[in-house]
Chains A and B, each alone.
Chain A
């Protein structure tokens, strides 16, 4: 008997691993028509894991205090063997994660997969999106460059527009009147411990909900019919589906390697894409560099604040948009998921995307 079979027998007697594998891998059937967009969850899991690994590696050399942070990042980039590679993978990886998150959310919206009984799955996904953006924001300050310092100054300043408690909120975020040593300490603690723990917990809940409710059938093809109203809990089965392992895992792996290839391409051929010149100078609290802009995924928020005459209105519009997105499954309660049968939603969907892209481009060139 081979050692592998003996090990599996040993575990099977104690934990019933063969049954576990059958239930969750080989006997777990997923929709036959599941497309590329269904792999984005696995892609995100892989990318988040890469961020954890590269983040832990960077922690070995990074020094989280204002006097040494910039120099320690320069040391990682110039002195530590392959330090540049680890840092670039971490920086570019965060941007690729935002792209994958946006594609994941946009595909869920387009296919109406957020609808009953998946409202809570959508809500936890929305929280994950916000936690990821918070991780990006807190990580942005850590290199303590001119770009980090002033982008954080502008970003935290936006909270000051909230009536009554705004000024206090800004001071709480910064740990003082201005961005400084206290801000770095707070953001570092949040970036390496607080937010990742929270993110891990919410990812666990998101996966539990996805597995418990079952994967939604893609709303395409002549055989698709809107389901009958759901009156009690029912796990969505796909008796005509394909096994999760090895068929679907192969699809997941193909998508993961596609994203890793894109990441590698940027790291090796366009490493400066997400690191503008202001990121190469140490932070100077007395000199604001011209034309400081936030990261591309915050440009829409940055420009919205500039469009409206009052910051309060700009912030309220942003808040209203994000709230609408969060509670969409509780407002859009019709059972129809086929895009061709939801012309109003699909029109708003594409106009919304166009508007966000246009505002972001405007913000970039303004």
Chain B
């Protein structure tokens, strides 16, 4: 037999390479569906623009909604003047709430405060709330 002339360590090396290659191929074939199965849901992240009725935001009031899988707040500062921000506090990621009197955002976790422009008024947040584009189109508000 020709194979018998090969030293055992060469045969072992060959087997190791073959088995290693097969195992890697199997791991990829089994791993890819597993990775896709566990991949996070985009949660509407591909939706560029969300529309809501203008009437859903009162003058001097705020309306919370989900935009691209994240919470967003739309504010009507005065009649016809709208602003939208990410509702995620820039300190540790809690969701801010709207306090109509005195008219500012308050983070309930560590008392961070933000103005109607999203600027930091007090507390630990290191930067302003992230602004989101919002335009009025007839009776609809287009966010995004």
- Using a CB–CB distance below 8 Å, which chain A residues touch chain B? 57, 60, 80-83, 85-86
Task: For chain B, residues 17 to 63, give those with C-beta under 8 angstroms from any C-beta of chain A.
Answer: 33-34, 36-39
The list of the 10 closest CB pairs from A to B, nearest first, reads A82-B33, A81-B36, A82-B37, A82-B36, A85-B33, A81-B37, A86-B37, A57-B37, A80-B37, A83-B37
Complex Cα–Cα for A82 and B33 (A): 6
Closest to A81 in B: B36
| Most chain A beta-carbon contacts within 10 A, residue among B33, B36, B37 | B37
Please name 16 further chain A to chain B contacts, defined as beta carbons within 8 Å, in addition to the given A86-B33, A86-B37, sorted by A numbering: A57-B34, A57-B37, A57-B38, A60-B38, A80-B37, A81-B33, A81-B36, A81-B37, A81-B39, A82-B33, A82-B34, A82-B36, A82-B37, A83-B37, A85-B33, A85-B37
Taking the nearest CB of chain B, how far is it from the CB of A221, in angstroms? 28
| Number of residues on chain B facing chain A (CB within 8 A) | 6
Contacts of A57 in B (CB 8 A): 34, 37-38
Contacts of B33 in A (CB 8 A): 81-82, 85-86
Contacts of B37 in A (CB 8 A): 57, 80-83, 85-86
Q: Name 12 interchain pairs, CB-CB below 8 A, sorted by A.
A: A57-B34, A60-B38, A81-B33, A81-B36, A81-B37, A81-B39, A82-B34, A82-B36, A82-B37, A85-B33, A85-B37, A86-B37
Contacts of B39 in A (CB 8 A): 81
Taking the nearest CB of chain B, how far is it from the CB of A326, in angstroms? 38
Complex Cα–Cα for A85 and B33 (A): 8
Contacts of A86 in B (CB 8 A): 33, 37
Complex Cα–Cα for A28 and B120 (A): 70
Closest to A79 in B: B41
Contacts of B38 in A (CB 8 A): 57, 60
Complex Cα–Cα for A208 and B60 (A): 72
Complex Cα–Cα for A81 and B38 (A): 8
Contacts of B34 in A (CB 8 A): 57, 82
Contacts of B36 in A (CB 8 A): 81-82
Closest to A60 in B: B38
Complex Cα–Cα for A348 and B37 (A): 49
Closest to A82 in B: B33
